């Protein structure tokens, strides 16, 4: 019998889980437990281990949470893990009111709803995401029964380290060391399947890293290409006036303001802060930022950006690593929105990945979204920025479904707190290799996290008067997320137009990508002292983030809240975008079934999977977001 016990402080604070249990273990009549038998012998063939796990799970009334039919492509078993070796794991507990939270976020994000704009505080959000008392108790008891006393609870997450022997008994599996066959160096401690007891399974979403092999991605960021310019070429661009002729060739801050009619200037108030995320040891450079200002925005000289370090991230201004992505982000958020403050999140670490044909190497290039998102959601209400731009992504099928869904849930939580999250859609059109991992069939490659309905996905255009879809702009339909209600009216006419074209190669029921688009070709960026031209949806995303930041700043002058989760508002105001009806996103060139030239998503009247609703008309967006505020 469970007695009512206040566990709020256990849920709301990162404290050792056993202390929570000690508060109320005297109120709990614990059922007698039975020791689970476990075969600790080393198996050279890990497929045999998988079959054994399934059999044991069945015999002991446990639920298999995840399993792989074989060692993933690109990996090989090296040896069984030793019992005394250490493994660190993270358990995601089921949220007590997950469905109610989703409805609440939709209500506060839908124009015309009585709750529109009434964003949640951190504590209000946690009233939805906090796991139930029974979930916390069950997981606490389960861990303690396996001599795990040092687990730490942080709302709906529990983290702990233990021995391989303990973890193997806990999850009814065998851990082993696996090697990346591509580099013959990278080792991962993983298993091919894991189970949890039936009485615990209803309280757990996932345990990781277990079956997630850290096979790396090929796309490091969504920069498509980058070229350095000599001094003469750079000076000519600096002196050129914004206009159709010059802006067809290369993009400067003045081009974007001319093309999208951006005249509004915000204040430098801290509430107007716009953030961007940097991963993979890429750091924006202060010297390059100042050079960019002096060359392209002389009136902004003297402003700088700030950096927050997350999960061991650094701010290495002398790094030999690529800085093009981070410099592009900070310079073009600044180009559109100065003097609004800019914040860079520099996040360390690398995350889990499933190997695919498109993304087999090199080692460790998958971004640790969970660590970054956990950090963000723990921020107090006055510390969390209301616009965040992210220009990183990968093939959706390379991400385990439960991981992708959990990350998307966390983006939804940010939306609930009034944050607009902007993601580049990717730079591979319908896909690169276009091979489905499960059966090697031809299939288009939607991108992650752009496929999450709770982020705003941004495609790319080029040229002016009119703008056209650029060939690398990614789009399509998510494999994991169904199409939301707010998107159906815009997307379904497109599906009717194309009929059965490419029908075997995508799921037409999925969330459609992208939502909107912006210029993405030949952006002038200062990188490591050079004037460079960068192209990609990586350029488009910070432009949109800057525009959303301006809209929020204008709303604040009227006493209105931030726009928050944008997508229902965008689709409700499609007339605020210039429809792009020419060009196409092209990919899948290696698949014979698709013929010479591969496959293409064409830009057309209305929404399409290369430019979305189109490119922004800032004056109209400002009128809708902040009625009466002048675009001046």
- Which residues belong to the annotated binding site for Ca(2+)? 579-580, 606, 608
Q: Which of 288, 325, 467, 515 is catalytic?
A: 325
329 in catalytic set: yes
Helices 401-416, 122-129: axis angle to 10 degrees equals: 140
Report the C-alpha gap between 324 and 226 in whole angstroms. 8
DSSP states of 491-527: HHHHHHHHTTTTGGGS-TTEEEE-SEEEE-SSEEEEE
Report the C-alpha gap between 574 and 621 in whole angstroms. 10
Structure tokens at 73: 């492509």
Which residues 6+ apart lie within 8 Å of 464 measured at CB? 244, 247, 248, 255, 259
Nearest CA among 351, 347, 345 for reference residue 364: 351
Q: By CB neighbour count within 10 A (0-12 exposed, 13-18 middle, 19+ buried), where does 520 fall?
A: buried
| DSSP conformation class of 213 | -
Structure tokens at 109: 């994000």
Half-sphere exposure of 554 (CA within 13 A, CB side): 26
CB distance 430 to 585 below 8 Å: yes
CA torsion 609-612-615-620 (nearest 10°) is: 170
Report the C-alpha gap between 515 and 457 in whole angstroms. 5
Structure tokens at 603: 């830009």
Max Cα-Cα span within the chain: 80
DSSP states of 405-465: HHHHHHHHHHHHTT-EEEEE--SSTT-SS-B-TTT--B----EETTTSTTSEEEEEEESSS
Q: By CB neighbour count within 10 A (0-12 exposed, 13-18 middle, 19+ buried), where does 149 fall?
A: middle
Helix (H, G, I), strand (E, B) or coil at 473: coil
84 in catalytic set: no
CB distance 342 to 286 below 8 Å: no
Q: Which of 49, 474, 538, 600 is catalytic?
A: 538
Q: List, as residue ranges, the binding site.
A: 579-580, 606, 608
Nearest CA among 569, 575, 579 for reference residue 607: 579
Q: By CB neighbour count within 10 A (0-12 exposed, 13-18 middle, 19+ buried), where does 420 fall?
A: buried
Nearest CA among 273, 577, 626 for reference residue 420: 273
Nearest CA among 204, 206, 77, 73 for reference residue 140: 204
Please, which residues bridge with residue 458 across strands?
Answer: 424, 516
Q: Which of 66, 156, 288, 329 is catalytic?
A: 329
Structure tokens at 301: 């000289």
562 in catalytic set: no
CB distance 264 to 332 below 8 Å: no
The b/e string for 117-137 (b: 16+ C-beta within 10 A; e otherwise) is bebbebeebbbbbbbbbebbb
Report the C-alpha gap between 361 and 393 in whole angstroms. 15
Active site residues: 325, 329, 538
């Amino acid at each position: 019998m469970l007695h009512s016990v206040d566990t709020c402080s256990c849920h709301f604070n990162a404290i050792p889980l056993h202390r929570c249990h000690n508060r109320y273990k005297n109120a709990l009549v614990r059922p007698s437990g039975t020791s689970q038998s476990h075969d600790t012998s080393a198996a050279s063939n890990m497929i045999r281990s998988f079959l054994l796990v399934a059999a044991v799970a069945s015999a002991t009334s446990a639920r298999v949470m995840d399993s792989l039919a074989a060692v993933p492509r690109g990996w090989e078993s090296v040896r069984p893990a030793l019992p005394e070796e250490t493994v660190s794991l993270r358990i995601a507990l089921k949220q007590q009111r997950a469905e109610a939270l989703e409805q609440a976020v939709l209500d506060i994000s839908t124009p015309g709803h009585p709750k529109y704009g009434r964003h949640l505080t951190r504590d209000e959000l946690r009233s939805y995401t906090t796991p139930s008392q029974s979930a916390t108790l069950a997981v606490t008891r389960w861990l303690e029964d396996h001599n795990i006393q040092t687990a730490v609870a942080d709302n709906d997450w529990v983290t702990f380290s233990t021995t391989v022997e303990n973890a193997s008994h806990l999850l009814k599996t065998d851990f082993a060391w696996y090697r990346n066959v591509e580099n013959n160096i990278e080792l991962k401690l993983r298993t091919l399947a894991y189970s949890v007891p039936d009485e615990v399974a209803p309280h757990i979403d996932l345990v990781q890293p277990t079956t997630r092999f850290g096979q790396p991605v090929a796309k490091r960021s969504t920069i498509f290409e980058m070229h350095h310019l000599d001094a003469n070429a750079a000076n000519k661009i600096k002196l050129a006036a914004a206009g159709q002729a010059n802006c067809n060739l290369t993009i400067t801050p003045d081009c974007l303001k001319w093309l999208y009619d951006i005249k509004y200037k915000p204040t430098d108030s801290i509430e107007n802060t716009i953030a961007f995320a940097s991963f993979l040891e890429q750091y924006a450079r202060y010297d390059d930022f100042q050079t960019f200002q002096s060359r392209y925005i002389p009136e902004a000289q003297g402003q700088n950006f700030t950096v927050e370090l997350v999960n061991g991230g650094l701010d290495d201004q002398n790094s030999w690593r690529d800085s093009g992505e981070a410099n592009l982000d900070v310079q073009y958020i600044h180009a559109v929105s100065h003097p609004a403050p800019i914040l860079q999140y520099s996040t360390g670490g690398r995350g889990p990945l499933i190997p695919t044909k498109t993304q087999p190497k090199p080692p460790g290039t998958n971004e640790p979204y969970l660590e970054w998102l956990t950090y963000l959601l723990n921020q107090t209400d006055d510390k969390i920025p209301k616009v965040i731009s992210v220009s990183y992504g990968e093939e959706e099928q390379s991400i385990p479904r439960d991981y992708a869904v959990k990350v998307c849930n966390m983006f939804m939580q940010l939306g609930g707190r009034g944050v607009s999250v902007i993601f580049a859609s990717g730079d591979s059109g319908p896909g690169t290799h276009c091979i489905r991992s499960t059966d090697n069939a031809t299939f288009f490659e939607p991108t992650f996290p752009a496929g999450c309905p709770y982020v705003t996905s941004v495609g790319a255009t080029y040229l002016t008067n009119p703008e056209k879809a650029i060939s690398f702009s990614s789009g399509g339909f998510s494999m994991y997320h169904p199409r939301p209600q707010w998107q159906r009216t815009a997307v379904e006419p497109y599906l009717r137009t194309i009929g059965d074209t490419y029908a075997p190669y995508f799921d037409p029921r999925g969330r459609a990508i992208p939502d909107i688009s912006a210029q993405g070709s030949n952006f002038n960026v200062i990188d490591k002292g050079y004037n460079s031209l960068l192209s990609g949806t990586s350029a488009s995303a910070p432009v949109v983030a800057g525009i959303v930041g301006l809209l929020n700043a204008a709303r604040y002058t009227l006493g209105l809240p931030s726009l928050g989760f944008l997508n229902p508002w965008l689709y409700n105001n499609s007339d605020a975008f210039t429809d792009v009806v020419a060009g196409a996103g092209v990919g899948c060139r290696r698949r014979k079934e698709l013929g010479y030239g591969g496959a293409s998503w064409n830009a057309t009247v209305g929404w399409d999977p290369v430019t979305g609703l189109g490119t922004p008309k800032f004056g109209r967006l400002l009128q809708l977001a902040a009625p009466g505020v002048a675009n001046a």
